[in-house]
Amino acid sequence: MQVRDLSLTFGGVRAIAGLNLDVHVGEVLAIIGPNGAGKTSTLNAITRVFDVSGGAIVFKGQDLAHVPRQRIAQYGIARTFQNIELFDAATVMDNLLLGRHRFGHGQWWQQILRTPAVTRLEEAARAEAEAVIEFLDLSAWRHAVVASLPYGVRKVVELGRALCTQPELLFLDEPASGLNPEETRELAFWIDDIRCDLGITVVMVEHDMSLVSAVADRVICMAQGAVLSEGTPAQVQSDPAVIAAYLGT
Ligand SMILES: Nc1ncnc2c1ncn2[C@@H]1O[C@H](COP(=O)(O)OP(=O)(O)OP(=O)(O)O)[C@@H](O)[C@H]1O
């Protein structure tokens, strides 16, 4: 993915100001930066939650800058949210099945007649959800209502729902926030497996440098809506411009 000269304004606030960044196939890229740097806005712009003010978001040769939000999954892009977005009253399995929405449910008449095409779609959805349940070790919670689950498990379910869309590119917004150190270590293993076993490219906005150092190939530090520094986790963390940005100097 190539993001070029991207901008996003809220009233008079320039949340993203001429942002350029590349995401390489197969990498784990971490986006860090002080509060208000524009990290979440960048994820929201790329995944089309917010309309951009200008620029291009090129993925596999197509500019997604004006694609409607509900079509973004069809391009092979999935995401999780800073404040988990699940259907709390539904079970884990039902939430995962909702992730399969992009593969369709057949025509209405096919659903009423329960044609073989509809049965095949449902079977494929269930098989994929079961595979994700196994991959993320969620089988104990399969039939639990999301609202009844501990916070850490809900975060994993949200990750699972994103994986059910079988994305090529996965965006995670602060995946470690609210997790304890043990859950964060577990998350690091899963991110590694998502990249290595499933071959999915991962971009995560994250403040937890233990997670960033454990899994990221490359780090981008944002400040004031643009890229301030780029490199390995160690390079970026020791960059004087990054240190100054965090200190607010
Ligand atoms: N929905 C919104 N309406 C108005 N202003 C917004 C909105 N979302 C973000 N902003 C503003 O855009 C700027 C960038 O915010 P953003 O949330 O993208 O930063 P961030 O780097 O993700 O910060 P944090 O680490 O605190 O989550 C901030 O000045 C913020 O106040």
Query: Could you give the CA distance from residue 72 to residue 64 in angstroms, rounded to a whole number?
Result: 8
Q: What integer pLDDT is reported at residue 128 of this predicted model? A: 85
Residue 21 DSSP code = E
CATH number of 1-76+167-248: 3.40.50.300
Query: Could you give the CA distance from residue 38 to residue 34 in angstroms, rounded to a whole number?
Result: 9
Q: Which residues line ligand 1 (CB under 6 A)?
A: 10, 13, 15, 33, 35-41
Query: Could you give the CA distance from residue 230 to residue 141 in angstroms, rounded to a whole number?
Result: 39
**Span from the CA of 15 to the centroid of ligand 1 (angstroms):** 6
End-to-end CA distance of the chain: 32
**Crossing angle (nearest 10°) for helices 116-135 and 151-164:** 140
Instruction: Pick the residue whose CA is nearest to atom 11 on ligand 1.
Output: 15
One digit per residue, the tens of pLDDT, for the chain of length 249 reads: 999 999 999 988 999 999 999 999 999 999 999 999 999 999 999 999 999 999 999 999 999 998 998 889 899 999 998 878 888 889 999 999 887 765 555 555 555 556 656 667 777 778 889 999 999 999 999 999 999 999 999 999 999 999 998 999 999 999 999 999 999 999 999 999 999 999 999 999 999 999 999 999 999 999 999 999 999 999 999 999 999 998 875
Residues of the chain with CATH 3.40.50.300: 1-76+167-248
Is this complex's ipTM strictly greater than 0.90?
A: yes
Residue type, 158: E
Closest Cα to residue 198, out of 134, 135, 123, 124?
135
**Span from the CA of 120 to the centroid of ligand 1 (angstroms):** 43
Kindly give the number of the ligand 1 atom that is closest to the alpha carbon of 16.
14
How do beta strands 28-32 and 77-79 pair? unpaired
Kindly give the number of the ligand 1 atom that is closest to the alpha carbon of 11.
4
Helix (H) or strand (E) holding 66: none
Among 19, 21, 41, which is best to mutate for testing ligand 1, by the most ligand atoms less than 8 A from CB?
41
pTM, whole model, 2 decimals?
Answer: 0.89
Query: Could you give the CA distance from residue 226 to residue 6 in angstroms, rounded to a whole number?
Result: 9
